[in-house]
Amino acid sequence: MMNYRWRGVIEEYRKYLPVSDKTPVITLLEGNTPLLEARNLAEYISLPLRLLLKYEGANPTGSFKDRGMTVAISKAVEEGAKAVICASTGNTSASAAAYGARAKLPVIVIIPKGAIALGKLAQALLHNAKVVAIEGNFDDALRIVVEISQKFPVTLVNSLNPYRIEGQKTAAFEISDVLGDAPAFHALPVGNAGNITAYWKGYKEYHQLGINKRLPRMLGFQAAGAAPIVEGRPIENPQTVATAIRIGNPASWKFAVQARDESGGLIDKVTDEEIIQAYKLLASLEGIFCEPASAASVAGVIKKHKEGYFKSFEGETIVCTLTGHGLKDPQLAVETAPATFISAPPDLEEVVKILGL
Ligand code: F0G
């Protein structure tokens, strides 16, 4: 019988992370998320590559943020922090609130009012964070928390905190460990651009250590109404149905560009319609419920495939990161779902009749 138990990303990848024996490990046993082959979807879109999905919604708080948060919160405790703070489109705040609770650290989160999905707000509130909703967007919130962390004794746990990037790079390690090398392509949504930075760092480290023989091409996708890197300028009033990536001035902008250029990849944009289409295809063809922002990676692959981008890469492997769980945003799911429910009396005959059996 297999007796192996996953110990969370810090213990599993300790030698690649900035931790020591003195670091108190605050973990919810994050990581070890499924890497699923999406055969139905690949067939449906006639993609001649092997399409794999890294389902980060399976993390303890339902998003990839847990990988970075376990390191950031553990280091904050080690360094004697009295409180932590972050700005968020929802997932970072949910993760900070959960790990902060476990570490007995007060957590302050600043969110754009009315612009984060209900599930994420529920998490931050239930974990008892101090939640401030500002009448502004994520970029305003980030500016405010950066200033607060400079003026007051609270530790910033946005991805400007390098420990976040360190933890998040473990997703690239996991994928490489399963595949035995890096994939040919790695696609992911880009918001504040921390995750593309982290994956590229992880892949580069495994390559430098000789664990991987190759490096992937990094493919980043922004929402069309919130695509500052694609447009080459900050977007003052970013708009998209994918609220998680509704960001007009990403903190890790230059690292995202570096990942794109060093890897020979690209950063492109996908429309809300393309995002929703991919979101629905994942749910109906693969049984995977991710949040809309996550589906931007698959929407991007569909778009690039239509443009012929993958033509000479038949048989190669492409990994799409699905960054967060679909239950984060149940309202959007109900609004866009292909199915509706049918009301019926509690009567066998009536139910059978409605079902047309
Ligand atoms: N997908 C989801 C579900 C996210 O929550 C985020 C970012 C991203 C993709 C983009 O990742 O910022 O590293 O480029 N969410 C942040 C938050 C901004 O506050 O939860 P990124």
Which residues in 178-235 belong to E strands, given as ranges? Answer: 185-189, 217-223
The mean pLDDT of 161-175, rounded to a whole number, is 98
Pocket flag, ligand 1, residue 187 (CB < 6 Å): no
The mean pLDDT of 197-203, rounded to a whole number, is 98
Q: Which of 127, 54, 67 is nearest to 282 (CA)?
A: 54
Pocket flag, ligand 1, residue 167 (CB < 6 Å): no
- pLDDT value at 2 more than 80: no
Q: Report phi then psi at 233, rounded to 5.
A: -160, 150
Beta-ladder partners of 222: 269
Q: For strand 107-112 and strand 317-322, is the pairing parallel, antiparallel, or unpaired?
A: unpaired
What's the CA-to-centroid distance between 192 and ligand 1, angstroms?
6
Pocket flag, ligand 1, residue 194 (CB < 6 Å): yes
Could you tell me the two tokens for 306?
């239509």
More confident residue, 340 or 23: 23
Tell me which DSSP letter residue 44 carries. H
Weakest-pLDDT range from 184-198, 209-223, 332-346? 332-346
Pocket probe for ligand 1: among 54, 56, 59, 91, the residue whose CB has the most ligand atoms within 8 Å is 91
Q: Is 25 exposed, middle or buried (0-12, 13-18, 19+ CB in 10 A)?
A: middle
Rounded Cα gap, residues 301 and 217, in angstroms: 13
Could you tell me the two tokens for 100?
């902060």
Q: Report phi then psi at 81, rounded to 5.
A: -60, 145
Residue-wise pLDDT tens digits, 110-123: 999 999 999 999 99
Q: Which amino acid is at 218?
A: M
Indicate the length of the chain as a whole number.
357
What's the CA-to-centroid distance between 1 and ligand 1, angstroms?
38
What's the CA-to-centroid distance between 262 and ligand 1, angstroms?
22
Rounded Cα gap, residues 186 and 321, in angstroms: 8
- pLDDT value at 35 more than 80: yes
- pLDDT value at 1 more than 70: no
Residue-wise pLDDT tens digits, 241-276: 999 999 999 999 999 999 999 999 999 999 999 999
pLDDT band at 3 (very low <50, low <70, confident <90, very high): confident
Pocket flag, ligand 1, residue 66 (CB < 6 Å): no
Pocket probe for ligand 1: among 323, 328, 329, 332, the residue whose CB has the most ligand atoms within 8 Å is 323
Pocket probe for ligand 1: among 65, 245, 332, the residue whose CB has the most ligand atoms within 8 Å is 245
The pLDDT of residue 329? 95
At 180, which helix (H) or strand (E)? none
Q: Which of 27, 38, 235, 281 is nearest to 139 (CA)?
A: 235
Pocket flag, ligand 1, residue 60 (CB < 6 Å): no
Residue-wise pLDDT tens digits, 270-326: 999 999 999 999 999 999 999 999 999 999 999 999 999 999 999 999 999 999 999
The mean pLDDT of 153-178, rounded to a whole number, is 98
Return the percentage of the chain with pLDDT > 70, whole number.
99
Rounded Cα gap, residues 9 and 173, in angstroms: 10
Rounded Cα gap, residues 189 and 124, in angstroms: 23
Q: Taking the C-alpha atoms of 178, 165, 194 and 45 in order, what is their torsion angle to the nearest 10 degrees?
A: 0
The pLDDT of residue 339? 85
Pocket flag, ligand 1, residue 252 (CB < 6 Å): no
The mean pLDDT of 60-71, rounded to a whole number, is 98
Using alpha carbons, list the distances in angstroms from residue 188 to 52, 243, 278: 12, 15, 13
Pocket flag, ligand 1, residue 89 (CB < 6 Å): yes
Pocket flag, ligand 1, residue 248 (CB < 6 Å): no
